[in-house]
Structure 1
């Protein structure tokens, strides 16, 4: 089943507006709050094979999607549609962070980010080479985890003091044990097999206090996918994401010692709760010298991640500058050691 949100004024397609948080008609400008949108103007169509195609109610085109597509945009007329059966039942997200950065704002933020590259080519942003920019809701699982951490090891306290003509160093040895209970809330792990895990991790953090109860109108005008991996599949990744935080916290509990070397560590992390959520991402395809570069932008905070092209000339100049500076320092040190300042 495919959902269209039709404008009560002109009958055109309505999409979610990231600036106002409302359904907006780009033809006549009408805006409606999502909570108050009348079901009278929500139209649905059915396709014979819901996992592969849908019929656009706006223009009648038959468009092919893969089985993971939740929301998409008609390539013929631009209408935004939501395939509702893929966001219902066990496939229904519980929470969503709506887009708060518009397409124009995303383009401007991306261009500004590119100009800050220290070793990117000077002509990287001299022309508008953005090939494609797509607003996507990517499926994530969020985990509330509880970790029971038991750590033991050897620690020392070192004290240096002077007595008479002698300097003494006193080292005391201790056996240290820590039994710690830690809670971590809303650890995000992307659940799409199409998205590169490292790229998604770098887009964090989101402002999770702005999570909202999921409603399908938030998807109108954007592309969205359903999850490929459930929470049981991704629990190991969630546990691995908190490992560095656990290690850092353990270190804070032994800060009063000069050294601490753990020899036994037992960590038991359990899932307390999991949430299926959709998070907003702008995907940018940028063409530079006949090569495409892919970037991702956090659709809430504007954070950009990706690898821009590198200027060999700038790198060579950078190293030349470092080398020249090092030679100057070495010559100055040699001059001073040779008594040149006396």
Structure 2
């Protein structure tokens, strides 16, 4: 099902505006709250489930999508559309964090990240490249975790003292036992096969105080995908993220000893609640010297990760320019003081 949000004033397609948090019309400037948007102005067209081909209600053009895409644009008229049938049933998100960083802000951060192209390959900062800046809702699972730890250890306290000319070392041994309950809320794991897990981890943290109940209008004007992996498939990865934190917390509870030797340590992390959530990311993909580079920005906090490609020729030219400038400066100083260099 293709869903488009028509402006009640002029009939143009509305999209979600990250600055106002509302549906916004690019033609007449009207803005509407998502919660109260008139049902009569939501235009829907049903297609066979999981179809990869849809038709734009505006211009009639064919919209080709991958099976996991849930929100996109018409390539011909640019109208934002949401493929609502792919957001129902088991694929219906529970929560969403809306974009708060606009495309203009993301582009400005991209320029700063590349230092305005001073050392990037020729043509890298072209308008076409910047136009490919994509706002995407990435599917995540958020886990509320109940962690437990049952720990046994042998600890020592060592004391040295001197009597006369003799130095004595006294060692006391202790049996240590800890039973710990600890919980973690909203532990994220990206559920898209396309996304690099390490890259998505580096975009954390998100402010989960801004989580909202999912509504489809938040997706209008952005790309979005449904999950490839369910919460069971990703839980082992979440456990691997949580266990080191539990282990570190255990260490804080066994303090004041000279040494601690663990004889038994059983750590377990269990799911309490799981939330299928869409999180905002700005992205640009590019290839350079047979290697893919990615610019990624947290669409809520503005945090940037990734490394831009570097042109070796520009680096050589930059250092040559610095050396030449330094030579001129040194010459000028030598003449100013009446000396001769070299």
Structure 1 unaligned regions, length at least 5: 318-342
Give the alignment's Cα RMSD to 1 decimal: 2.4
Question: Counterpart of 1:198?
Answer: 198
Alignment of 1:1-342 (within 5 A): 1-48=1-48, 50-115=50-115, 123-124=119-120, 128-129=125-126, 130-131=129-130, 132-285=132-285, 293-309=293-309
Q: CA deviation at 1:124?
A: 3.2
User: Matches of 2:17 and 2:271 in 1, distance apart?
Assistant: 35
Q: 1:180 to 1:105 in 2, by over 3 A?
A: same
CA offset at residue 240 of structure 1? 1.1
Cα shift readout 1:232-288 (whole Å, capped 9, x = no counterpart): 111111111101111110010012212222231112221111111100011123576
Cα distance in 2 for partners of 1:172, 1:262 equals: 16
**Cα distance in structure 1, aligned partners of 2:147 and 2:290:** 49
Closer/same/farther in 2, CA of residues 113 and 70 from structure 1, 3 Å limit: same
Structure 1 residues 162 and 286: CA distance shift in structure 2, 3 A: farther
Separation in structure 1 between the aligned mates of residue 111 and residue 173 of structure 2, nearest angstrom: 57
Unpaired runs of 5+ in structure 2?
Answer: 320-342
Partner SS for 1:252: helix
TM-score normalised by structure 2 residue count = 0.84
Q: How far apart in 1 are the matches of 2:172 and 2:308?
A: 52
Cα distance in 2, alignment partners of residues 115 and 154 from structure 1: 55
Give the corresponding residue for 1:328.
none
Partner Cα separation in structure 2 for residue 39 and residue 277 of structure 1:
24
CA contact (8 A) 2:280 2:298 kept: yes
Q: Is the contact made by 1:144 and 1:186 (CA closer than 8 Å) also made in structure 2?
A: yes
Q: Comparing 170-179 with 8-17, which one deviates more in the overlay?
A: 170-179
Deviation at 1:163, TM superposition (A): 3.8
> Are the aligned partners of 2:242 and 2:269 in contact in 1 as well (CA < 8 Å)?
no
CA distance in 2, matches of 1:244, 1:47: 47
Contact 1:153 1:262 in 2 (8 A): yes
How many residues align? The count is 311
- Deviation of 1:49 (Å): 6.0
Check the 8 A contact 1:95/1:213 in 2, yes or no: yes
- Secondary structure of the 1:100 match is coil
Contact preservation (8 Å) 1:152, 1:178: yes
State the secondary structure of the residue aligned to 2:187: strand
Cα distance between partner residues in 2 of 1:112 and 1:290: 24
Rounded Cα–Cα distance in structure 2 between residues aligned with 1:202 and 1:105: 20
Taking the aligned partners of 2:118 and 2:2, their CA distance within structure 1 comes to: 46
Decide whether the 8 Å contact of 1:2 with 1:54 is kept in 2.
yes
Shift of 1:167: 4.4
